[in-house]
Structure 1
Amino acid sequence: MLPTRRGFSVATRRISRTALAPLALATALTALAAPAAPPVHAATALPAVTPRAATPALYDDAAGGGADADDPAIWRDAADPDRSLVIATAKKGGLRVYDLDAREIQSVPAPAAPRPGDAPGRFNNVDLVHGMRLSGGRADLAVTTDRGRDRLRVYRIDRDRPGGPLTDVTDPAAPAVFSASEDEVNEQRTAYGLATWTDRATGRSYALVSRRERTRLALLELVAHADGTVGYRTVRTLDLPSAFRLPDGTSWSPCAEPGELPQVEGMVVDPADGTLYAGQEDVGIWRLRADLTGTPKLIDRVREYGVPATYDEATEECVAGADPGYGGKHLTADVEGLTLVTEDDGDGLLLASSQGDDTFAAYDREVSDANEYEGGFRVAAASASLDGSEECDGAAALAEPLGRRWPDGLLVVQDGHDSPEDTGRTATGFKFVDLGDVTDAVDD
């Protein structure tokens, strides 16, 4: 049987299906699914890096307020890099803001349900927009997907604001991203993954948003209003495939619960050329234009790609068949947090969380080099009191000096199995890793 993810069986999100509506695009991409060597599980052979700091544990229970760590973003204070921030989602717990010592300095609650029985706010992913022109001047923004309410929430960043650096500037009339009614919102096929992008040619800022349990991506333009709030409008959408033609002529879809399609969560845009990288969790990593035009290209596949599996309703698990060998070598489902390490000379890396084996894969940032695989690493325990990262959901890297403690830059990764002293509660959190250690590990 396939492995179990944190808090639910992997089968609750995967099932083989015969609906082939997206097969036209999938067929066009058949050449991308060339047979690969049999899966090589060499996670233990990858080099290890260790964190230097960890946030306080978050608890997804009644006492913890439903706080469940998911996705981070790193904001750099150009005037004083030592005062830079990490802004992270805590799902029902809203947002958390940390300093560079991983100490919490602000907690922002998610919105309450508008009516009894409606879904409350639940923040999934977060990203930043720099220097957007608002009515009061240019400002940096933190944008998050509110998975519970199917909306974007937008927060202005002001490091010296009393009470905390984040101020909610979301347009109160902002519409649902994907849902046509409150009933659809409550079905929770809502705004999920997120990446922001500012088009250098026009100066306009956008959010790329994925839909939970669907393959759809939406391009939303962020719109500043005269009252200082920020809304958004849908520019276009694109549906990635849910079924794939294999080299042997058969069709394959990832196993999931009936009615669910293989969703995207981890996404990042390369600001240099407007390239979007999107992690379809049970499929692999796609490369496409951030304006959602053109044909997506699958640059790597998970090891499980092409493996037939059937959903067993009695056990709520997927029963897998023989591996035909069409999968990749570097990613074990799910593909999760994607982030870029960008360097001044144009070089850099695309990092991806390989959640199924607790590792990270690194690819060349350059499209001209076909995003060649460069290596991998693990985030391992630094000590008995500072563990590593397991089942990582989200990651953010910044390859710029961040004060005295992080002169080589910073990588922040979610830890799906934090290990605080109180081991009687399920805990999550974020680990801070020296980015220089990461690049050294990949180079080795």
Structure 2
Amino acid sequence: MLVAKKLATKNTFIRSAVSLVLAALLGACQAGKPALSQSTEAAYSAQPLAINASHYHQIQLAGQDYQLFTTATALQIHTAERELAHQSGKFSRLTLQRLDSDVVLLAAMDTDTNRLYLWRFAPDEAPELQLMHQQLISSRVVEDLCFYHSSENQQLTVFLLGDRGGADQLLLQQQANWLTQPVVIRQLNIPYDATACGVDQQNGALYIAEADRAIWRYQAEPEADEGRSLLQVAQPFGQLQGEVKALQLLNDGSVLALEEQPARLLQIGSSGVVLNAVAVPAVAEASGLTVQQQATRVTAYISSEQADGVQQLRLAVPANTVPAKKAAVVQVMPTRQTEAASQRGDVMDDPAVWHHPAEPALSLILATDKRAGLDVYSMQGKRVQQLSVGRLNNVDVRYGLQWQGSAHDIAAASLRDDNSLQLFAIDNRGKLHNAGKVATTMADIYGLCMYQSSKTGAHFVFVNDKSGLIQQYRIDSDGDNWRGSLVRQLQLPSQPEGCVADDNSGVLFVGEEDAGIWRFAAEPEAAGTGEQIILVDGTTLVDDVEGLALATHGDSQYLVVSSQGNDSYVVYDAVAPYALRLRFRVTTNPQLAIDGSSETDGLEVTTRSLGPSFEQGALIVQDGRNRMPEQGQNLKLVPWADILQQLK
């Protein structure tokens, strides 16, 4: 127990030190700005409502105004004329999410039982609350709730904020389908004494208040990076004075922060500048805040846990409009995943598929480990072999090359320990053997892909360097051993990585990470000049350009690309004019408890059967942030048939 207390004290000290350093930075950024002046009565007007509530909302549905609020003993819904609904319980942190113009979703915690309640309220259908779900929350004591609806990724989630350094993000609805049971799709590490949360629905930003110290901004998307940034801090470095008990977002992206005692309402711009501040002397200890926004006016409703009178404040704001929702992105679900990498961090990079010569279900997935070597997985996602040869980056496979007196297939990988090509022989049972290395002249070896000429049958490896250098090696066999010889060099303006070669047409595609995709002829005697065919545009294809793969279906051939900068995948025609065919993301599969994929490095596509559930092949992507639960990186598998459905 004494050790635990010492650790807790040490951690508290570290957190305070970090907050002070960040606060000092923010204070430095705001140095020289005029001191904040309290807002005038012209900008703000306040009046009490004739209602006592701990949490209060006023909302219009189908042209009718409704009051939704909690007291010490119940949740109630009223119109101007009468009470419509009454739900007994000691509810806290009542929050709403509009589902459409006539329907709203309510969430609240019963503080006596620590149970989460979700209700649907559609007065045109029924005057009563419709209980959708109730659930005991055992992970943490919930301090606040806030909804996030991602129009791009078509997911509705709710954050359960704890005050002991953690939060859960629960998935409620996906692609307009309600889950029978909410699923925790992300656990966040947040400040130890977090008190309030709010979400910018348009920009996908989650704001969390750290008591009276700071307000932080996180990303609300479950597959997003977990990094945070500082919005505001306490005096003397910033302008927070009291403990922040509630946060609300306005249409322009600014944040309303309610301080508890003395009660004060701050409007903070997205850059962290406090735009306005107003005291609320009529409320002794403020804790509840909701808003209604029109073109040039915001109405804020401020309440307290003591269920004193609700205060209504009207705030004048610059004219603005409700921001348009982001267009939905096509979503596909993974139906299988591999075991997680044995180490945490940025470990796994690039996959390749070895096809069993007779039984597709016995095919294997090869994946590079940037710290240790090569992992081999069965089609069930189980790791069946590990080859600890060093830090491998990219891997590829081709077929039919003599090794030690018998026919073997070949895998080649880029080995960063000594800038060489690491070769593996694959026997007809699917066991991999270390087949030696080929030295290169590269200084910082990186991406790799293989090519087998349809003209000569010769095997080649294309490998690149971070400088933009691309080298082509021919792999030959003397019957017992493999050797490599440099046959050609190419050059890109900046750093490449992912590449893929079409054996039939003799074409090489290479991704230039920050710029786009290049096309070269793949035969060793071909010219060394290439053509830039697809550009990074910052919207559809966002740097880094990472994994590349080819897929043929009928008369169509597709180039599949990992657009790492926006966690998506793009499909182009693999022939001129390289038309865009599809942009999609790999989303959560709640039924199979598989999270979506994000920050993808390498990917692979095969259109050959891989056995049951993958009869038309698969898209295999590296998942840079493996969640549900949080663990080492892995690979996600999507049936290629699901992608073909979207390409029709």
Provide TM-score, normalisation by structure 2. Answer: 0.48
Deviations 1:353-390 (A, max 9, x none): 0000011110112x2x4221111111111128310110
- Does residue 203 (structure 1) correspond to residue 437 (structure 2)? The answer is no
Deviations 1:314-356 (A, max 9, x none): xxxxxxxxxxxxxxx520000000001123x442211000000
Where does residue 404 of structure 1 map in the other structure? 612
Q: Cα distance, 1:160 vs. partner?
A: 2.8
> Does structure 2 retain, via aligned residues, the 8 Å contact 1:148–1:190?
no
Deviations 1:168-209 (A, max 9, x none): 1115xx32x124xxxxxxxxx422111100111111110000
CA distance in 2 between counterparts of 1:7 and 1:275 reads: 39
- RMSD, aligned CA: 2.6
Whichever of the two has the greater Rg, that structure is 2
CA distance in 1 between counterparts of 2:519 and 2:587 reads: 29
CA distance in 1 between counterparts of 2:348 and 2:341 reads: 7
- After superposition, residues 235-274 of structure 1 pair within 5 angstroms as 235-241=487-493, 262-274=494-506
CA distance in 2 between counterparts of 1:43 and 1:410 reads: 29
Q: Cα distance, 1:430 vs. partner?
A: 0.4
> Does structure 2 retain, via aligned residues, the 8 Å contact 1:72–1:414?
yes
Moved over 6 A (4+): 4-8
Q: Cα distance, 1:43 vs. partner?
A: 8.4
- Does residue 224 (structure 1) correspond to residue 224 (structure 2)? The answer is no
Where does residue 178 of structure 1 map in the other structure? 441
Give the structure with the larger strand fraction. Answer: 2
Structure 1: tracts of 5 or more residues without a match? 9-41, 111-120, 180-188, 242-261, 305-328
Q: Cα distance, 1:159 vs. partner?
A: 4.8
Match of 1:303 among 524, 537, 547: 537
Where does residue 437 of structure 1 map in the other structure? 642
Where does residue 417 of structure 1 map in the other structure? 625
Provide TM-score, normalisation by structure 1. Answer: 0.69
Q: 1:159 to 1:68 in 2, by over 3 A?
A: farther
CA distance in 2 between counterparts of 1:192 and 1:268 reads: 14
- After superposition, residues 8-407 of structure 1 pair within 5 angstroms as 45-61=328-344, 68-110=347-389, 121-160=390-429, 165-171=431-437, 174-175=438-439, 177-179=440-442, 189-212=443-466, 214-226=467-479, 228-241=480-493, 262-291=494-523, 293-304=527-538, 329-343=539-553, 345-365=554-574, 367=575, 369-383=576-590, 385-407=593-615
Q: Cα distance, 1:303 vs. partner?
A: 2.2
Deviations 1:374-415 (A, max 9, x none): 111111111283101101001011101222221111111000
Q: Cα distance, 1:59 vs. partner?
A: 5.0
SS at match of 1:70: strand
> Does structure 2 retain, via aligned residues, the 8 Å contact 1:178–1:191?
no
State the AA in 2 paired with 1:376.
R
Q: 1:359 to 1:67 in 2, by over 3 A?
A: closer
Where does residue 146 of structure 2 map in the other structure? none
Q: 1:70 to 1:7 in 2, by over 3 A?
A: farther
Structure 2: tracts of 5 or more residues without a match? 1-218, 228-324
Deviations 1:266-305 (A, max 9, x none): 100011111111000001011111136253111111125x
Higher relative contact order (Cα pairs below 8 Å, separated by 6+ residues): 1
Deviations 1:206-250 (A, max 9, x none): 0000102x1110011112234x22221111111112xxxxxxxxx
CA distance in 1 between counterparts of 2:626 and 2:456 reads: 43
